[in-house]
Structures are given as structure tokens and as C-alpha cells.
Amino acid sequence: MSPRGDTVGIIGAGRFGTALGSVLARGGRRVVLYSRDTAVVSSIQGQRKNPRVPAAALPAPLEATADPKRLAAEARFLVLAVASTDVRDRARELGDVLDGSHIVVHAIGALAAPTNERVSEVMAQGLPTLKLGVLAGPALPPDLIEGQFASMVIASTFDEVVAEGRRLLNAPPGLRVYSSKDLVGVELASALAGAYTVALGLADGLGMGAGPRAVLITRAVAEASRLGAAAGAEGKTFAGLAGLGNLLVRSSSDRSLDYQLGKRLADGIVTADNARTEGARAAIAGVELARSLRTRMPVLQGLAAILSGKLEPKDAARLIGDTVAVEE
């Protein structure tokens, strides 16, 4: 068994958590994947397959457990990879078994409902450790599973978090991890990249063309940077991997759930599920955060109006066209 300090713990056996565990385990890193679903744990342990993500190879360096105490005992470095709606509950649950020696980074591209706080802020309320960070960037789960090159950035105000993240998560040739000290910026850039991916899926579905698409991307990065500045982030972060890089990859692939959602909206498909991708949640929460910080974000506000049912998708072409034509 690998030492506790050389083991990566992953909380959440969904698409990203399983994909990250897969690429790390294939590279020889010991991984303990935690899930509350005992059927998933049993399948991974017995058949080396996660029924939720059957394409992911899960070789022996990866183990699964439904016991949070075992997770805490066997892994010092943990990645929280659950839905943004579950962050608060998981932080409270983990708070009972972790201690100040643990490092916890999250890989959640949204804000935490219903308070619209950054995920690290919610983690800090429930966890006993101050060593917190975020993992973000253009790494789609299918690409990780298939071994295609992907890159991410880890950010924290603690040098130890960044250093340990890069040491443990770099898994060449499949995954390369870069570093940042701008925790606020990377969290917001990641969340807003998901939101604007929905907008670009909508624009592509409406056949708006390459020119308006380029302007929309430019406006999206400018908006996100403006909100970041109001929240105390560095503007350059939004043009980096967590922001622009994330947006370019996700908005160019039908493998992105947020991009798929945008295209469904363009087809006039409006259902209760429209607000259930992380990008959609980020759009709605981001508008509320922008309002509290008195920051103007017309593209995001228009997208949130569509997702909330306040604006018909058929009116989106006019809205986006009007928005990207405005010089700010």
C-alpha cells in the first residue's frame, strides 16, 4: 500500500471523479475513490468498473470505499468532485473525519447553492483544515478516460496545496497540472466558463456564425474578468486555463453537458432539467453574485433569463446579437 501522503482520495464517483481516478491509476498513482453508493463501490472493487462511467478503466492502484473514515486515514490529499448542490452536505460529513493535516481541493465548476458562495468558502465552513484549493480547466471526462492530453490548473493561497497537487495529480501523458495563487479567480473563471459554454452552444445551435461567435467569446471573457475584479480576483486569470482555455475546449465539443444544453435550448427544448448542469447553475448564481457586487453582465443575465424561463429561446438570437454588438 502506498503511504498516506502519496495516495489521492477522490470524493464522488461521478463522471469527473471517476475519470480523474482512471487517469491517475493508469499512471500508477494509488487512488481511494469514495462513494456513498455501496453498489458502485462493490462494482469497482469486484469488477473494476463503475456502472455510472463504464468506459473508465479502473486498474488496481484505484480502490473504492463507502467508509469516510477509511478515506481520511489512507489519503491526506483529497479532491472533492460532487455536484455543487451537494457541497455543503459533503463538507459537513467530511468535517467529522478529517483533521488539520488534510489538503482538500474541489473540482466543481459552479457556485454553491443556495447562497451563491464560492465552493471553497462553503468548504471552509464545514472542514477542519485551512489547506483548501480548487482544480479547474479544460479536462473533459471522456478525454481523460481515453487518454487524450488534458491540462488543468490548481489554485490555493497555500503553497503546500499547490505543490502537493502538482506532485500527485500530474499524470503524463494524459494530464498536466499548472499552478496559480489566485483561488478566487480560478473558482470564478471555472464556474463562468461553464455558464458561457451554454451560451456558445445556444449561439452555435442558432447558426450565428464564426464572427459573432468570436465576439461572444470576447465579451464573455471581459464580463467574467469584470466580475472577478469586483470579487478581488486577478483579471489575467480569466484569460488562462480555468477561464478562456476551459471555455474554448468545452464549447467545441458535444461531449460537454453544458454545450449540449445550449444546443437543446436553440432547438426550443425547454425542460426542468435545463437548470441542472453546473454551467446552468453557475449562470443563475453568477447573476445573483453580479447583482450583489453591482457588476453589469448582460450576456450572463440574458442566459440566466432563458434558463429561468423568463425569456423564450426563440428570442435568444436577437438578445445575443444585440449584446455582442455593444461596445462597453
- Residue 197 CB coordination number (10 Å): 33
The answer to whether residues 43 and 162 belong to one domain is yes
Residue 180 to residue 128: CA distance in whole angstroms = 23
Q: What are phi and psi of 154, to 5 degrees?
A: -110, 135
Check: CB of residue 307 under 8 Å from CB of residue 280.
yes
The answer to whether residues 133 and 223 belong to one domain is no
237-254, pLDDT tens digit by residue?
999 999 999 999 999 888
Sheet holding 103-106, edge to edge: 62-65, 31-34, 8-11, 77-80, 103-106, 132-136, 150-155, 175-180
Q: What mean pLDDT comes out for the span 88-109?
A: 96
Q: What mean pLDDT comes out for the span 301-306?
A: 90
The answer to whether residues 175 and 101 belong to one domain is yes
**How many domains does the chain contain in total?**
2
Check: CB of residue 137 under 8 Å from CB of residue 153.
yes
Check: CB of residue 120 under 8 Å from CB of residue 133.
yes
Domain boundary among the residues 137, 152, 181 is at: 181
The answer to whether residues 100 and 222 belong to one domain is no
The answer to whether residues 287 and 198 belong to one domain is yes
The answer to whether residues 176 and 309 belong to one domain is no
148-206, pLDDT tens digit by residue?
999 999 999 999 999 999 999 999 888 999 999 999 999 999 999 999 999 999 999 98
Residue 133 to residue 78: CA distance in whole angstroms = 10
The answer to whether residues 177 and 33 belong to one domain is yes
Which H or E element spans position 133? strand 132-136
Check: CB of residue 316 under 8 Å from CB of residue 204.
no
Give the confidence band of 260 by pLDDT, cuts at 50, 70, 90.
very high
Question: What percent of the chain has a predicted confidence (pLDDT) above 70?
Answer: 93
> Which three three-digit cell numbers place residue 85?
448542490
Q: What are phi and psi of 12, to 5 degrees?
A: 120, 120
The answer to whether residues 90 and 138 belong to one domain is yes
Domain boundary among the residues 151, 181, 211 is at: 181
Q: What are phi and psi of 34, to 5 degrees?
A: -100, 130
Give the confidence band of 2 by pLDDT, cuts at 50, 70, 90.
confident
The answer to whether residues 215 and 304 belong to one domain is yes
6-26, pLDDT tens digit by residue?
999 999 999 999 999 999 999
Question: For residues 230-267, b (16+ Cβ closer than 10 Å) or e, as one string?
Answer: ebebbbebbebbbbbbbbbbbbeeeebbbbbbbbbbbe
The answer to whether residues 168 and 46 belong to one domain is yes
Check: CB of residue 307 under 8 Å from CB of residue 286.
no
> Which three three-digit cell numbers place residue 138?
479544460
List the Cα angle 77/82/83 in 5-degree steps: 150
What pLDDT sits at residue 311?
78
Asked if the model's pLDDT at residue 328 lies above 60, the reply is no
Asked if the model's pLDDT at residue 270 lies above 80, the reply is no
The answer to whether residues 136 and 254 belong to one domain is no
Asked if the model's pLDDT at residue 73 lies above 60, the reply is yes
Residue 79 to residue 90: CA distance in whole angstroms = 12
> Which three three-digit cell numbers place residue 87?
457541497
Check: CB of residue 110 under 8 Å from CB of residue 120.
no
Give the confidence band of 322 by pLDDT, cuts at 50, 70, 90.
low
Q: What CATH number corresponds to the domain at position 244?
A: 1.10.1040.10
Domain boundary among the residues 136, 160, 181 is at: 181
The answer to whether residues 253 and 290 belong to one domain is yes
Nearest partner of 8 among 156, 171, 124, 129, judged by Cα: 171
What pLDDT sits at residue 261?
93
Please report, for residues 64, 190, 252, the alpha-carbon distance to residue 108 in angstroms, rounded to integers and kept in the order given: 21, 8, 20
Q: What is the pLDDT of the chain when averaged over all its residues?
A: 92
What pLDDT sits at residue 327?
43
Give the confidence band of 262 by pLDDT, cuts at 50, 70, 90.
very high
Q: What CATH number corresponds to the domain at position 64?
A: 3.40.50.720
What pLDDT sits at residue 309?
80
- Residue 251 domain boundaries: 189-324
Look at 59-73, 200-214, 223-237 and tell me which has the smallest mean pLDDT: 200-214
